[in-house]
Structure 1
Amino acid sequence: MRRVCLEVSFMPIWHPHPSPLPEGEGAGLSCPSYPYLVTMTTIRAVGILSPGEMGSGVGEVLHQRGLRVLTCLAGRGEHSRERAARAGFEDVADLDQLVRECDVLLSIVPPAVAGAVADQVAAAVRATGASLLYADCNAIAPSTARDIARTVTQAGARFADAGIIGGPPTRPGNRIFTSGAGAREFAGLGTFGLDIRVLDGDVGQASGLKMCYAAMTKGLQALGAELLVAARLLGVEEQLRAEQNQGGDLAAVRRFVERALPSMPPKAYRWIGEMEEIARCFEDLGIPGRLLLGAADVYTDFRDGGVLARELSVIASPSPSGRGFIQG
């Protein structure tokens, strides 16, 4: 196995340490970085859980640039298997084999199950004694990221906090921000086609940036969906459109909302948990999170085929680009 000697900064364990974190869960924990010379194994294999639209996009880019990309498809449907095959993934038997064979494992799953996935990976790391970097790339609150970091580092893995902004990296505009003790190690994947940007901070910086960004994009989309349906049900749809299209900022906001509408139904189930995580993030800071819980209710309506889903199926039409994708 080839080895390279790099000067990096990471300490793959948690240390009690006075920190600027707010009192409560996670307070007093820090991931200090200590620069020293270490020998790092060259990254040859990356594991991805799971091969959804984003995960398969990330894996496809890495595979195209020469990395082995592994996943575990046990219990996954035929659609997931086809998508993984198209992206060049190798299917392994179970999580134990996955953690043994990969150098870096990326968690890209619905936010609501990020903690459960980390628990399963931690159990596999303990059972196998595997040494790997676990990068949580999910849309989760900083406090959730710290909980997950504690889980996986206590099991023996290293940890990087990561937040993906934009669509899958097979399209322009994708950025991955990372922070924490494992950030610079994770940034090594930047040599394989990913745009990875290291933030100078502990676990929670990258996930916090993602929370604020998604609150604007998907939070605004939820509000826009409600107001368009309300205008339709009140019989003032055309008048509202005329007023908003007078020009200026409102016209741009309406175009953003309308362009993203077609992408809402198939993605709503993921965004419920994301809005709940943003609410948790805000409440951890002492500011109201109820607005984002309302956005979660909007996406629940979409998932369940409620009034909003039915009405917007009439209002929504494909964007001129045919994409209709919310960036971030």
Structure 2
Amino acid sequence: MKKVVLIAFTLILVTGMFSAGLTEVFDTAKASSTIYKTAQLDLEKTNLDYNKAKIEATNRKLELSGELSYYSGLSNYNTSVKDYYGDIVDRVLDVYVEEINVKTADLQLKNAQITYDNNTELFNNGLISEDDLKSSELDVSDAQNNLESAQLNLETAKDNLKELYEGDYSQIEINIPGYEGIFVSDEEYLNNNYNLKLAQLNVDISQYDLNNLPANASAYNKRIAEITHQKNILSLQDTQDTLIEAHKTTKNSIETLYKSLKNSEERMSLAQSTYNDTKDRFNKGLVSELELNTVNINYLTTQKNYYESVRNYLKTTINYIIDTGRSLEEVGL
């Protein structure tokens, strides 16, 4: 299976002897996450109710009804687990994105200040109006407010992550598995889908009801039982067809997100190259600080877009892995 490890650049994701994989963050956060702990309690209750139902069942229909509740509970558990992993991914990536927002806001403030200083000189020489000067002064004030807001958002993001993970976020190593090794067959996908299991159980229950009608059942009751069973069979077939189509759509989505992520990575690399070249020229006195800052902002924007691509790919991929009954470790996360 191919893996792509996110490159550190100068921002984040530094690997080393104290680095932690994202899976380790997931495992550590389980001890503090209310989402995860609630999911485990719900799972325990689902298993207890199922065992109780099996013991108390006096016929096959009651057994099937117990299984129906059991798989419904497992389906809800899967949804909660996906919510948990999505929450952790968001907390980690939020810190990275907010760091970029702070750096961007700081550069925007510097540019606004440079423009204001230039305009002050122009105003003192009678080359621009007082309104023009006031406008650039307000730009500085807006940029300062934006920076302060970005700094608060970063602190909030750090606090949110720290609630569940005490380690150094800058040492988190995120592995991005290639999509080719993640996909399973339609058959395996269906075998692990609880909606299909529930649809099949409804068919089994209506079949039981049909087979166990009283000998003196009216024609009306017989026909109602037949209709209910036929509808459940159709629902089962429809669920299977819908799931196969959904599986195809999900795989296409994951492939598209991966390719988008790689494109974002390339754009980030190009922007970094442009920034390095501009910095070189700045050091030689060939470009202004304003131009350098503007190029740097563009570089930071490509980094932000890249991490958003990482977020989308990871969350969609993790959901798919859970839906196919596998652990994250199995696919290299």
The structure with the largest strand share of the pair is: 1
Taking structure 2 as the reference length, the TM-score comes to 0.25
Taking structure 1 as the reference length, the TM-score comes to 0.25
The structure with the largest helix share of the pair is: 2
- Relative contact order, higher structure (CA 8 A, sep 6+): 2
